Structure 1
Amino acid sequence: MLTLHRAAVLVVDPAAPPVHDGAVLVDGGVVAATGPYRPVAGARERTWDGLLVPGLRNPYGQWLLERAYHPDPREELGSEPLSGAAYAEAFGGEPGELDQERRGGSARRGLQRMLAYGTTAVAGPFELPVVRTAVARSGLVALAGDGAEGGLDPLAGTGLAQAVHRPLAVGGRADFAVFDVSSVAELEAAGAGCCLATVLGGRLLYRRR
């Protein structure tokens, strides 16, 4: 099935000039075409009033999914990952002591929250089988990493060029995100928390309500 994602501004590669009123044509799970918007017969259209960029890479995946804890909404502890004193105050102990069921639930919630930051790839290494399973089922691309500690925003302390997983390319996987800004400079200033939508393998897996 063809889906045409039209955006106010399209960035196919941070090294290339942006395209105003651009579009990405997706055929199933891959990119079929990119460039200035033009209607495509038979394609379903989605129009985004924002900046469409390649999906982002979160380099802190191992820490976020295996060392921190992502609260269940029913626990009324917010959506930010808990660790150290914050976790001890809420539950006592350390998040590293979670049993497999709670660790799996935390990892699944963490992966869902990453999608809300335009993340389409996450860095490991993932040592816990329950976390490896959650990552594999999420559809996010698992990458090598160094286990560094950090947060959910892939743009924190870095620029878009460093945070992009890979440029959008015809024939490549359709992984991208749309943000509620009109330029790369605005995105870098605001951070990835202004994400409107995340598409992973051609599937719209997150859309801000």
Structure 2
Amino acid sequence: MLTLHTADLLVTGPGSVPVPGGAVLVEGDRIAGVGPYEALAERYPHARTRRWPGVLTPGLVVRGAELLLERTYYPDDPYEIAELGADPVTGAEALDALGLTEARWGNSARRATQKLLSRGVVAVGGRLRVPSVRTAVSRSGLALIPAVPVLPGDGRASGAPDAGDSVPPSLDPFAGRDAVAGAFHGALERGGPARFAAFDAPDLDALLARGATTCVATVIGGRLLHRRR
């Protein structure tokens, strides 16, 4: 089935010219077309349309997979919140005190992947060593990539080679970046993978200011894996 995802503004990749009223046409797990919604809708009149507020962009990537998923524990809501609180647990001493099993690490990672999807994230950069954590990431639909490329707007591209490394890994894909484009995972183009996100913000500057939690939809492999209710 063909599906048209459209928003008030479409940004197809770093340095691209924004397209007001743009759309991405999805067929299966690939992008079948990119451009103005009206033109695509006229050419493909039987395509289903999904309309999103704000801006539609490539999906985002976060760095630091090991720290985020294997050295941070996300309490199970509501069962562990009373004892552990709602904030993620970090630090070797605190984690050792929990006596975490591999199964619990896998469940924690599953909760973390849901948080990432709700921020428009489609890929995580780094290495994972715990099998249950790798399984949780794989099943979530998120891609695990060995390294995060330096793109325009990434804090690491501003002179000091280790500038980005000074920023602790975060669930926020914009952490340590001075522009949204630095967090893009690839670009939206015909024949490419259908992975993108929509955010309730009028443009990229507003998105950077408001944050990735404005995400209203995340699509990976053509599937809608997150939708704000």
TM-score (structure 2 length as normaliser): 0.83
The amino acid of 1:30's aligned partner reads R
List per-residue Cα deviations over 1:92-114 (Å, max 9, x = no partner): 7356x520111010011111110
Comparing 134-143 with 199-208, which one deviates more in the overlay?
134-143
- The corresponding residue for 1:197 is 217
Any stretches of 5+ residues in structure 1 without a counterpart?
A: none
Aligned equivalents of 1:178, 1:115: Cα separation in 2: 11
The question of whether the paired residues in 2 share the 8 Å contact of 1:5 and 1:45 is answered with yes
The amino acid of 1:174's aligned partner reads A
Match among 197, 205, 226 for residue 185 of structure 1: 205
The question of whether the paired residues in 2 share the 8 Å contact of 1:107 and 1:131 is answered with yes
- The corresponding residue for 2:23 is 23
Poorly superposed stretches of 4+, deviation over 4 Å: none
The amino acid of 2:62's aligned partner reads N
The question of whether the paired residues in 2 share the 8 Å contact of 1:84 and 1:94 is answered with no
Tell me, yes or no, if structure 1 residue 67 matches structure 2 residue 74. no
Tell me, yes or no, if structure 1 residue 11 matches structure 2 residue 31. no
Report the CA distance shift for 1:102/1:45 in structure 2 as closer, same or farther (over 3 A).
same
What percentage of aligned pairs have identical amino acids?
Answer: 48
Q: Report 1:31-110 matches (<5 A).
A: 31-38=31-38, 39=41, 40-74=44-78, 75-76=80-81, 77-78=85-86, 80-84=87-91, 88=94, 93=96, 97-110=99-112
Report the CA distance shift for 1:94/1:42 in structure 2 as closer, same or farther (over 3 A).
farther
The amino acid of 1:154's aligned partner reads P
Aligned equivalents of 1:151, 1:36: Cα separation in 2: 34
TM-score (structure 1 length as normaliser): 0.90
Q: Report 1:162-177 matches (<5 A).
A: 162-177=182-197
Aligned equivalents of 2:2, 2:18: Cα separation in 1: 23
Superposed CA RMSD in Å reads: 1.8
Any stretches of 5+ residues in structure 2 without a counterpart?
A: 149-164
Secondary structure of the structure 1 residue equivalent to 2:31: strand
- The corresponding residue for 2:175 is 156
Aligned equivalents of 1:72, 1:208: Cα separation in 2: 20
